Amino acid sequence: MLTKERQDEIIGLVKQINIASEKYQLMHAIFAIENMFQKKMQQDWQNEYNDIREKIKNTSNQDELEMLFEKARELNKESMHKVTIVVEYITNLEVGNARISTTENRNFQITLPKDMENIRNDDGTINMEALTALRKLMAHELGHVVLHSGILTDVEIDDLNKGSEEEAEFFAEKLLELRRIHNEEVHSKF
């Protein structure tokens, strides 16, 4: 049986997790995107690895074999990498603006304005206007990651233009619409 002290400790941890989760809206979508990226990249690596294996079978040139074995080792090392999407709040961004940065190994960092981090009113209730703005901006940036990262599509983040903003906005609208429908369905069951 749980002691009162242990229950209070658990409640404290749950509250900390709840507060942290408010800062990172659309986490289910982030996890889903990471998973989709991982599956796509694993398939790409497997296809490339299969091509290398075929070339190894069909060559007798020692220099070419060494090069192919090295490529296979690099590919194996690459395939161990897990894609992550990190959200960070910083002070030098204007409200409504955000940034995406990528690393060489295709990790993504979505940077949001620090002013958008707090979605609660002074009395502790949720500020729906702030929450809506944060979710919209977050969904928009996720749209850029999905549509313009070069993983699921051929468009790279470096190739962004006015059309890519429209695409990210459309993605955000549809994602938020589907999340709203899902949440209404789930919460109607309680």
- Beta-bridge partners for 30: none
**Residue recorded with tokens 């942290």:** 20
Burial 103-125 (b: 16+ CB within 10 A, else e): eeebebebbbbeebbebeeeeee
pLDDT digits (tens, 9 = 90+) for 85-102: 888 888 877 767 888 888
Q: Distance between CA atoms of 72 and 51, rounded to whole angstroms?
A: 10
Phi, psi of 96 (to 5 degrees): 95, -10
Percent of the chain with pLDDT strictly greater than 70:
91
Q: Quote the pTM value.
A: 0.76
